Amino acid sequence: MAGVPEVCGRFYARRKARRPAPAVQQSTVRPMNAARERRRRIRSLNDEFRTGGPPSGGKGRWLLTRGVLALGEEHVGIALSLMRDFSSFDEANDPHGEHDFGVIQVAGERLYWKIDYYNNSLDGGSEDPADEATTHRVLTLMLASEY
């Protein structure tokens, strides 16, 4: 090895040859990457669901509460537009990075929107929100006072 004294170079080469790569490090990287990819997939599906409107294929629905509907057609339209365009995600309102919750203001009212994940029969939660085939998304738009 250039620049390394002969004795040091042999010691380093022997030590390096005897030391196997730590298996623990490799096994922790894969789950973290898998979790990150899963979260990215959920976020992408949620963004598509929220910005694209309720799907016509029956794999999700949007619900507006009575309080939101009472705001009137004009304000409901504004609320839906603000919800679709929402991009102010941060650690406080999106701690899991799934883009499944937001807060907007319309006509002096604070509104929440929330995406929940159900199984296809709608009688329980989805086992895997990253799997489009087994998840029925429900987006609820409500007044903060209705929460």
CA distances from 43 to 69, 82, 84 (A): 27, 18, 14
Q: What percent of the chain has pLDDT over 90?
A: 71
Residue 28 lies in a domain: yes
Residue 4 binned pLDDT confidence (cut-offs 50, 70, 90): very low
Question: Is residue 78 over pLDDT 60?
Answer: yes
Check residues 23 and 134 and name the one with the higher pLDDT. 134
* Angular region, 31: left φ>0, alpha ψ -120 to 50, beta rest: alpha
Question: Is residue 19 over pLDDT 60?
Answer: no
Residue 1 lies in a domain: no
Distance, in Å, from the CA atom of 50 to the CA atom of 84, rounded to the nearest integer, reads 6
Residue-averaged pLDDT of the chain: 85
Residue 54 lies in a domain: yes
Residue 91 lies in a domain: yes
What pLDDT does 32 receive?
A: 78
Counting the structural domains of the chain, the total is 1
pTM score: 0.77
User: Which residues form the domain of 15?
Assistant: 6-146
What pLDDT does 18 receive?
A: 52
